[in-house]
Chains A and B, each alone.
Chain A
Amino acid sequence: MNFSFLKDANFQVRIAIGVLLFIGLSATIPGFVSVPNAGSIIENVGLIGLVGTGIMLTMVVGQLDLAVASVAAVAAIIALTLAGVSIVLGIVVALVVAGVYGSLVGYVIDRTGVNSLVLTVCMLIGLRGLALMMTPDRPAILPFEMFWISDALVAQWGPLTLLGVICLVIIGIVGLAMRQTRLGLSMYAVGGNVERARGSGISTTRVYMAAFAGSAILGAIAGILAALRSGSASGLGFENFLLAGITVAVVGGVPLEGGRGTVINVLLGALIIRLIASAVALGGIPGSFESIAVGGILLAMLLLDYGLGRRRQAAAAGSKAASGPIQTQQ
C-alpha cells in the first residue's frame, strides 16, 4: 500500500479541516458525539461516498460525469418497479442498464472526442425525463411485504448500519481495484497524460468505458440503496446527488485535471460534508445554511487547490534541476 498521499499538502489541509471541524462541533453542539449520530454520519458518508467515488473515477481519467443524479433516479425506479416480481431481479436489471448506459457514454466520448461535461448534462436532462416517464402518476414504491429490507438496512449495530457497511465495502473494493488492477492503473495513466498513455499501448476506449460505466453503476447502487431505505423512488428524486457527489470528490482533494485521486480522498470529503450537514440538522440552524456551507466549502477548496497548485508550480520551476522529475510521480 502506498502512503505517499499523507505527505501531500492538499491532503494535510483537508485532514486538518476534518479534525478541527470534528473538535469544534463536538464541543459546541450537544448530542453531536453520540452513537446514533455517529451511525447516521457513517451511513450518509457511505451513501454520498458511493456517488463521489463514481464521479472520482471519471475525474481520474480527466473527464467529469454530471449525469449521476438522473442515473440514480432511473436505477432506483427500475429496481423498485421490478421489486413486485423479484427485488434481486430488479437490482440486477437496474445495474446492467446503468453499466450498459455508462459504457456507451464512455465509448462515445472516446470515439468522438465530445466534451464529457456537456454530453453528460444532456444525459442528465434525458434520463430525468425517462425517470419521470416511468413514474407518471406516483413514485415507485417498495411492496409492503418487503419493508423488512428497509428495516434491515438501517438497523443499528453500535454506530454501524448494514447500509453503511455495504457502501463502505463497495468503496473499499473500488479503491483496491484502482490500485491493484491493470485497468485501474491505466485510468491514472490516461488521466495523467492521454498521449503518453496511448503511446504506451493503453486502450483509451476501455479506460473511458470503464470509468463511465463505473460512475453509472456506483450512482445506481447509491440510488437503489437510498430508495430501499426510504421505500420509494420518485421521478424527481436524488437531485442533490450531483452537487453532493462533485463536492465530496473536490473537497476530498481529487484534482479536476485528472490523473490523481483515491477513495481515501472521497471518504475524507464525504466526512467533512456530513459533519457539516449533521451539525446543521442537530443545531437547529435553517436548512438553507447547508447549501451555503456546501457551496462555500466547495468554492474554498477550488481556490485552495488553485493556490497550492500555483505554489507548487512556482516551486517546481525554481528547483527544477534538483527535484523536478520526482514531482511527476503521484
Chain B
Amino acid sequence: MADSKADNPASFGKGGADEKSAERKWLRDLAPFIPIIALGVLAALTIDGFGTAPNLIAIVQASAITGIAAIGVAAITICGKFVSLSIEQQAVTSAYVFAALYSAGTPVALAMLAALLVSALLGLIQGYLVSRGLNPIVTTLAFGSALFGTVVLLADNRTITLNPNPIAWLGGGTTFGVPNQAIIFLILVAIGSFLLSRTKIGRQLVLTGANPEAAELVGIPTKRIVMIAFVVAALAAAIVGILVVGQVSQAKSDMFRGLTIDVVAAVLVGGIAIQGGEGQLWRAGYGAIVLTMLSNVMLLLGVDAGARELLKGLLAGAVLIFMTVLRSRSR
C-alpha cells in the first residue's frame, strides 16, 4: 500500500491520455481510503492502545448503528435519489412499534416482523412519491416530520420500557467477544454488497442511477427500482430501531437524535458518488467506521463534541467536492 502510494506522484506526469484517465479512476477509488489511513497511522503513533483488538472492536461496535442505516441509504444514493432525511423518524417508528407490541403481549418474533413490515410500507410510500418525480430530499423531510408527529401523538410522548428485555442479547450481547451489533452490521454489508454486484436487481439499481432515461429505454422498471431502494433504506432503519431497543431496553422519541445527519455524512465520507450510478454498498459502512474512528480518536485526545461535529461536516464536504471534481475532470 505504502509503495504504490509513493509511486503515484511520479507516474502522474508521464503517459498518454488513456493512462492518465486510468490513473485518475484509480485515484478516485483510492480517495476514500486516504483519510482513514492517515487517521489510523496518526492515532497508532500518538495514542496508546489505539491499535489493540479491543479498541478496534469497540470502534466497529460504535459504528454499527450508523453503518447499518447508512448501507440502506446508500441504495437510495446509488439509484440517483440522493439521500433520505427521514432515517431518524423511521428508526424511532420501528422502535416504538416493536416495543409497544411486545409490551402488549405480542411474541418477540411477531413484534419484530410487524416493525419491519410497517417500516417497509412507510419506505414504499416515500419511494412511490419520489419515483413519480417528487424531490427526494424535500419529500422525505416532510414525510419524516409528519411521521414523527404521528408516532409521538400515538405514543402520547411516553417512553416505553421493556422489562424484561427479550432481545438484550441481540442489542448488547457479544459472540466470541465480538458485539452482536457489529456482527449483524458486517453480515448486512456482505449481503448488500452481494445483492448489488451479483444480482440483476443490483445492476438495475446502478444503471437507474447512472442514467435513468437510458435505463428506462432498455426496459429497466426504474420506478420500481427507486421504490425498492426506499424500502431497503426503511428496512435498514427498522433494524437499527430494533437493535437499539435491545441495547437500551426502551423506546423514546429522542433516541435517534442526529442519526440522519450521521448517516448522510457516512455515505459521503465513504465516497459514494452522490450523483448516483456508481459506488459500492460497503463504502457507506466504511464511511461510518471512519467517522466513528475520528470521533474515537478526538475523544481520546479530549477534543469537545462541537469540534468533532465541525470536523465531520468539513470532512464530508471535502470528500464530496474532491469526488465531484475528479468525476468532472475524468469526463
Contacts and interface: CB of A to CB of B under 8 A. Distances in A.
B310 A302 contact: no
A292 B313 contact: no
Interface size class of chain B, counting residues whose CB lies under 8 Å from the partner chain: 35 or more
A295 B149 CA distance: 9
A245 to B, nearest CB: 11
Residue with the greatest number of chain B CB neighbours at <10 A, chosen from A112, A235, A242: A112
Contact of B320 (A119, A130, A136): A119
Contacts of A64: 137-138
Contact of A291 (B146, B314, B316, B324): B146
A118 B310 contact: no
A302 B138 contact: yes
A136 B146 contact: no
Nearest to B132: A306
Interface string A50-87: 00000000000000101000000000000000000000
Contacts of B69: none
A303 B134 contact: yes
Contacts of A180: none
B146 A124 contact: no
Interface string B302-331: 001111111111101100110011001000
Contacts of B147: 295
B265 A133 contact: no
Interface in A97-120: 108, 112-115, 117-119
Contacts of B138: 64, 246, 250, 256, 298, 302
A158 B168 CA distance: 59
A295 B132 contact: no
A247 interface: yes
Contact of A118 (B134, B274, B307, B308): B274
Contact of B146 (A108, A123, A296): A296
B307 A288 contact: no
B70 interface: no
Interface of A: 64, 66, 108, 112-115, 117-119, 121-134, 136, 235, 242-243, 246-247, 250, 256, 286, 288-296, 298-299, 302-303, 306
7 contacts: A122-B317, A128-B313, A129-B308, A131-B306, A133-B306, A246-B141, A292-B145
Interface of B: 82-83, 129, 132-135, 137-139, 141-150, 152-153, 157, 261, 264-265, 268, 274-275, 304-314, 316-317, 320-321, 324-325, 328
Interface pairs A-B: 9 shortest CB-CB: A126-B313, A129-B309, A295-B146, A132-B306, A295-B145, A133-B306, A129-B310, A292-B149, A291-B149
Given A128-B261, A132-B305, 10 more contacts: A108-B321, A112-B321, A113-B328, A115-B275, A119-B317, A123-B313, A126-B311, A129-B313, A302-B135, A303-B129
